[in-house]
């Protein structure tokens, strides 16, 4: 019985070039993160502080949420609370409806993915335009994100070109405009797929969207309880474009995003981009503290699964996560199996854990996607003990009937063996017999561990026997 992850990963392995490319792309981001960490003597001090601030804030979330709401309300912001995805989608729709909104421009937000907001709004006739370039590409191609920070890095530029050509009516004009502004001759081959040109085409395409949208939506990287700020960090500036043209701004925010004050913000700002993309900072770190003149600003605080897990002694620390993506970039399993192998929309070590908190029956298959190398624990800026938690989830699989019966039988067998020394020694003596097991018997569908592995050769004499002989010879 293999998990969905291992089946999909096996499918992904069929194209080794894609795997190698994916692996190297994200390993490079991990290496850039390492250079950032090594350049700051206070790196570990920052991580330690970030961990402690998050522990404090998460364990005082009740009081900080009230503080945040009060501050934001004083600033003239409307604050809403949603217990689950449906309530959240309804709140957003009713705000949009009250303003007669037909088109929304949106910057990246994992929470809206979690709640399937786009689908819900589109069903009600509202046009939703993602404005982060990667997200926009995926939206046009009808694909899901494969990473939380670099969502479309797995898509090839030729496919992006084809998609733009088919869906952006002014493609030829924008392309010509690009070469003119660069003072370069327009290539004869109409099928050029230069990333700079494609980005320029998307820039002009998205500018039209910003100008014609009735509302802007953003996520929230950090909510500052003391002052009511919503902080959004981007490299493209699309969150700022989305909110500085339309009059209405709606923020979607998971309740765990709070931090106490500006002093804490300094710690997290320094860690986020360094960990996520290996940059000293994102290009824009924007503080939204209230509506524009003549405009309106709303914040929707979303719970969904958070408050019911905050009491989980073993797993509450997952709530410290600030979605930097570092644990994915370093994860050998993520790098070689890619985002779509996981059943939850957030992949990698943090996605495994978030999926389990959200819906453990639906996503328990992902807990096998971990080699327990613990690299994620070591890169996480807020010290979420990711691999330890995955290990704990595996121990609990049986409690909700998701344990793999074959692995369980083997573990029970091993337990018997290791708990009975004499049986262990006798079994070892017989081990070389395994050398004569025919290859076909080991390499069959019942034994997934034989995939890509050869059976070890047992030596004629075990270490135990050798040790005894040496001792006796002395």
Partner 1 sequence: MAAKENILERLRANIGERFEMPNIAINAIHYDNVVEKFAETCRTVSGADVVMGTPAEEDERGETSTVHGDIGVAENGCIWIPQREADRSFLFRSEHLNIIVKASDIVSNMHEAYARISESEEYFKDYKYGTFISGPSKTADIEGALVYGAQAARSVTVFIE
User: Does the protein bind ligand SF4 through residue 80 (CB under 6 A)?
Assistant: no
Sole window of 171-179, 214-222, 377-385, 463-471 interacting with ligand SF4 (rule: CB under 6 A): 377-385
Q: What is the DSSP string of 32-94?
A: HHHHHHHH-TTHHHHHHHHHHHHHHHHTTHHHHHHHHHHHHHHTT-EEEEESSHHHHHHHHHH
327 contact, one of partner 1, ligand SF4, none, CB 5-8 Å limit per kind:
ligand SF4
Give residues 107-136 in contact with partner 1 (rule: CB under 8 A): 131-134
Angle between helices 421-430 and 463-473 (to 10 degrees): 100
Give residues 306-345 in contact with ligand SF4 (rule: CB under 6 A): 321-327
Of these, 73, 262, 434, 467, which contacts partner 1 (CB under 8 A)? 262
Alpha helices for 325-404 (secondary structure H): 326-330, 332-337, 348-358, 360-363, 375-379, 386-396
Q: Whose CA is closest to 305, among 260, 349, 361, 265?
A: 361
Q: Are 85 and 283 in contact (CB under 8 A)?
A: no
Minimum CB distance to ligand SF4 smaller for 53 or for 384: 384
* Calpha distance 420→362 (Å, rounded): 38
325 contact, one of ligand SF4, partner 1, none, CB 5-8 Å limit per kind:
ligand SF4
Number of residues that bind partner 1 (CB under 8 A): 90
Q: Whose CA is closest to 57, among 408, 294, 382, 346?
A: 382
User: Does the protein bind ligand SF4 through residue 382 (CB under 6 A)?
Assistant: yes
What Rg value do the Cα atoms of the chain yield, rounded?
26
* Chain Cα centroid distance, residue 252: 17
C-alpha distances out from residue 8 to 154, 212, 325, 366, 451, Å: 16, 41, 21, 11, 15
Minimum CB distance to ligand SF4 smaller for 318 or for 404: 318
* Calpha distance 194→399 (Å, rounded): 52
Of these, 316, 340, 391, 458, which contacts partner 1 (CB under 8 A)? 316
User: Does the protein bind ligand SF4 through residue 265 (CB under 6 A)?
Assistant: no
* Calpha distance 470→464 (Å, rounded): 10
User: Does the protein bind partner 1 through residue 216 (CB under 8 A)?
Assistant: no
User: Does the protein bind ligand SF4 through residue 29 (CB under 6 A)?
Assistant: no
Dmax of the chain from CA atoms?
94
Minimum CB distance to ligand SF4 smaller for 225 or for 384: 384
Q: What are phi and psi of 17, to 5 degrees?
A: -65, -40
User: Does the protein bind partner 1 through residue 187 (CB under 8 A)?
Assistant: no
User: Does the protein bind partner 1 through residue 248 (CB under 8 A)?
Assistant: no
Sole window of 232-240, 242-250, 295-303, 382-390 interacting with ligand SF4 (rule: CB under 6 A): 382-390
C-alpha distances out from residue 28 to 103, 328, 387, Å: 38, 12, 22
352 contact, one of ligand SF4, partner 1, none, CB 5-8 Å limit per kind:
none
User: Does the protein bind partner 1 through residue 18 (CB under 8 A)?
Assistant: no
Of these, 303, 323, 329, 364, which contacts partner 1 (CB under 8 A)? 303
User: Does the protein bind partner 1 through residue 85 (CB under 8 A)?
Assistant: no
Minimum CB distance to ligand SF4 smaller for 112 or for 243: 112
Give residues 344-373 in contact with ligand SF4 (rule: CB under 6 A): 350
Which class for 215: exposed (0-12), middle (13-18), buried (19 or more C-beta within 10 A)? buried
Of these, 2, 13, 18, 75, which contacts partner 1 (CB under 8 A)? 75
User: Does the protein bind partner 1 through residue 34 (CB under 8 A)?
Assistant: no
Shortest reach from residue 456's CB to partner 1, in Å: 39
User: Does the protein bind partner 1 through residue 62 (CB under 8 A)?
Assistant: yes
Sole window of 264-272, 327-335, 372-380, 409-417 interacting with partner 1 (rule: CB under 8 A): 264-272
Shortest reach from residue 414's CB to partner 1, in Å: 34
User: Does the protein bind ligand SF4 through residue 380 (CB under 6 A)?
Assistant: yes
- Six-digit token string for 244: 């500085």
With tokens 């530029």, the residue in question is: 157
Shortest reach from residue 12's CB to partner 1, in Å: 18
Shortest reach from residue 240's CB to ligand SF4, in Å: 24
User: Does the protein bind ligand SF4 through residue 150 (CB under 6 A)?
Assistant: no
265 contact, one of ligand SF4, partner 1, none, CB 5-8 Å limit per kind:
partner 1
Q: Are 215 and 248 in contact (CB under 8 A)?
A: yes
Sole window of 35-43, 342-350, 430-438, 465-473 interacting with partner 1 (rule: CB under 8 A): 35-43
Cβ partners under 8 Å of residue 253, min gap 6: 111, 219, 220, 223, 230, 299, 300, 301, 302
Cβ partners under 8 Å of residue 40, min gap 6: 46, 270, 274
Binding site for ligand SF4 (CB under 6 A): 321-327, 350, 379-382, 384, 386
């Amino acid at each position: 019985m293999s998990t969905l992850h291992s089946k999909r990963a096996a499918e992904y392995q069929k194209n080794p070039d894609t795997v190698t490319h994916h692996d190297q792309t994200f390993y490079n981001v991990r290496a850039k993160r390492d250079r950032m960490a090594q350049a700051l003597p206070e790196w570990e001090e920052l991580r330690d502080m970030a961990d402690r601030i998050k522990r404090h804030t998460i364990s005082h979330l009740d009081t900080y949420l009230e503080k945040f709401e009060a501050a934001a309300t004083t600033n003239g912001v409307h604050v809403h609370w949603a217990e689950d995805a449906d309530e959240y989608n309804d709140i957003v729709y009713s705000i949009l409806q009250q303003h007669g909104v037909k088109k929304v421009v949106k910057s990246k937000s994992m929470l809206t993915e979690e709640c399937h907001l786009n689908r819900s709004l589109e069903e009600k006739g509202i046009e939703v335009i993602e404005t982060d370039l990667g997200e926009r590409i995926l939206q046009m191609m009808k694909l899901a994100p494969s990473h939380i920070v670099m969502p479309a890095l797995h898509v090839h530029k030729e496919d992006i070109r084809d998609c733009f050509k088919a869906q952006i009516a002014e493609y030829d004009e924008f392309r010509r405009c690009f070469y003119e502004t660069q003072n370069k001759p327009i290539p004869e081959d109409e099928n050029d797929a230069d990333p700079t040109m494609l980005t320029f085409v998307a820039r002009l395409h998205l500018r039209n969207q910003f100008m014609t949208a009735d509302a802007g939506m953003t996520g929230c990287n950090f909510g500052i309880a003391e002052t009511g700020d919503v902080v959004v960090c981007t490299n493209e500036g699309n969150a700022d474009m989305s909110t500085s043209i339309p009059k209405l701004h709606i923020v979607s925010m998971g309740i765990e995003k709070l931090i106490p004050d500006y002093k804490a913000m300094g710690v997290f700002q320094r860690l986020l981009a360094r960990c996520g993309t290996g940059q000293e900072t994102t290009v824009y770190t924007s503080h939204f503290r209230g509506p524009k003149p003549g405009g309106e600003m709303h914040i929707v605080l979303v719970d969904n699964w958070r408050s019911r897990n905050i009491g989980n002694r073993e797993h509450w620390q997952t709530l410290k996560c600030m979605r930097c993506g570092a644990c994915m970039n370093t994860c050998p399993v993520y790098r070689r199996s890619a985002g779509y192998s996981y059943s939850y929309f957030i992949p990698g070590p943090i996605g495994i854990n978030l999926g389990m908190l959200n819906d453990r029956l639906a996503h328990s298959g992902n807990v096998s996607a971990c080699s327990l190398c613990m690299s994620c624990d070591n890169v996480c800026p807020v010290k979420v003990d990711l691999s330890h938690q995955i290990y704990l989830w595996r121990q609990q699989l049986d409690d909700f009937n998701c344990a793999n019966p074959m692995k369980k039988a083997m573990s029970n067998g091993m337990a018997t063996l290791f708990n009975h020394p004499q049986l262990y020694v006798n079994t070892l003596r017989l081990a070389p017999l395994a050398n004569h097991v025919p290859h076909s018997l080991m390499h069959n569908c019942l034994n997934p561990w034989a995939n890509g592995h050869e059976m070890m050769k047992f030596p004629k004499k075990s270490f135990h026997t050798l040790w005894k002989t040496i001792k006796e010879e002395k």
